[in-house]
Amino acid sequence: MSLSEQLIRWRRELHQYPELSLQEVDTTARIGDWLQSGGISLLPYELKTGAVAEVGSGDKVIALRADIDALPIE
């Protein structure tokens, strides 16, 4: 499976199980599992929702951030 296909699969899976803000415990677990399955280590994070990971090392870094909560829609 290509990276593009895998990312589409993950996006579709996340959209099947939406979680509201500060309730994204299952979403956080899924993201952690996906990162670790790719050999990416998670860093300690005090909150129950959200994840922090570090890939590689060096003087220059890039930070990525994304919201993972869903919005209530009627």
Query: Over 90: is that where the pLDDT of 17 sits?
Result: yes
How does residue 72 score in pLDDT terms, banded at 50, 70 and 90?
A: confident
User: What pLDDT score was predicted for residue 56?
Assistant: 86
Query: Over 90: is that where the pLDDT of 74 sits?
Result: no
For 22, residues 6+ apart whose C-beta sits below 8 A from its C-beta are 49, 69
Domains of the chain by residue range: 3-54
Measured between alpha carbons, how far is 41 from 57 in angstroms, rounded to an integer?
12
User: What pLDDT score was predicted for residue 12?
Assistant: 96
- Tell me the pLDDT tens digit for each residue of 22-64: 999 999 999 999 999 999 999 999 999 999 998 888 899 888 8
CB atoms under 10 Å from CB of 27, counted, come to 20
Question: Structure tokens of 20?
Answer: 């509201």
Measured between alpha carbons, how far is 26 from 4 in angstroms, rounded to an integer?
23
